[in-house]
Amino acid sequence: MTPKKRWLAFARGLVAALAVGWVATLVDWPRALSAVKSANSYLLVGAVFISLAGLFVSAVRWKLLLRAVGVSFRLVEAYRAYLSAVFIGLAMPGIIGGDVARVWICTRRTKASLGLVTSTVFFERWLGLVALAGLLSVGLWTTHAEDFGALGAWACIIMALGLLAAFLLPTLFVRFLAVSQRAKLLRALWRRIGTERLNRLSALGAIRIFQVIPAFSLSFLLQFLDIVMTYVLVKALGQTITLGMLLVAVPITYLATILPLSPSGLGVREGTLVFVLSRYGIVASDAALLAFGVFLVRVLVGFVGFAVQATSLRAVRGMRTSIELTAGR
């Protein structure tokens, strides 16, 4: 690791520590411990299963996009990749660490182009952001959140433009590749990246509107499942936060964690959730406890991913050993 990367890692860790420390000071710990002891354990387990179900929906969406560009990746493998990515992403900055892990797993299993697989991950993230804008606009409309001003209108505009871009992006990207081959200013970039590599990316043009629509629908569903999971935690802890409030708080919190400011968005996520819910008059202690609960669910799902990946590796090693023994006979 270079000195620059070490300093960046240190800075991100410092941001996470300071943010988590600040949120921890907001928690009324005796009250929080009492809430945890009296929490509904069935609902807590249900929150974990809802999170796992959301990852399965994500895997289905990714498989659809991969198939659209000619990459064959089994659904069970895509789901394993998502589970592993959650575990790896716990120590990586922002949400991009998990995406890098998924790309690596997919290219390793399918031998597909790195650029092509990366483009599908970028495209599904784009659809996810558009879905978040839609949910945010619904939340602001249902809760009449005056503190956020015209944010609801902007969210609607972003959702409309983003959805239009999602329909046009594959075609526009292919046209960009065709133009860049002829443009003098882009020839150097073309040569540097590699003609063959960029030509492989042109497979994005194979994505059609009838394939974008189900992918967007799945994006909307999985983002809503994340909000439902948070709402289940609210009910488990006996809090008074409404689903409408979470329709605003969760999308804004997710958007805040996109920037790689801390490992897995730790601290940034909790601080943002506390800030947004405080606009609705929710006690900071309750919001902070909920934020830590959401992170705990993510950690538990991450360990499920670790167990799945470890089991997969043992199975592969066992298979190799059996083949070697058979060959030796």
Domain membership flag for residue 16 = no
- The pLDDT-based confidence of 235 (bands split at 50, 70, 90) is very high
Would you state the structure tokens that stand for residue 285, as one six-digit string? Answer: 């202690």
The pLDDT > 70 percentage for the chain reads 63
* Number of independent structural domains in the chain: 1
**pTM to 2 decimal places:** 0.77
Kindly tell me if the per-residue pLDDT of 280 is higher than 70: yes
Give the mean pLDDT of the chain: 75
Domain membership flag for residue 80 = yes
Domain membership flag for residue 21 = no
Kindly tell me if the per-residue pLDDT of 218 is higher than 90: yes
Q: pLDDT per residue over 287-311, tens digit each?
A: 888 888 888 888 888 888 778 767 7
Domain membership flag for residue 269 = yes
> What is the domain range of residue 132?
39-328
What CA–CA distance (Å, rounded) separates 288 from 76? 35
Domain membership flag for residue 305 = yes
Kindly tell me if the per-residue pLDDT of 318 is higher than 50: no
Domain membership flag for residue 243 = yes
Average pLDDT over residues 164-179: 58
Domain membership flag for residue 17 = no
Per the model's pLDDT, the better-predicted residue between 209 and 1 turns out to be 209
pLDDT at 208: 72
Domain membership flag for residue 12 = no
Kindly tell me if the per-residue pLDDT of 326 is higher than 50: no
Kindly tell me if the per-residue pLDDT of 74 is higher than 80: yes
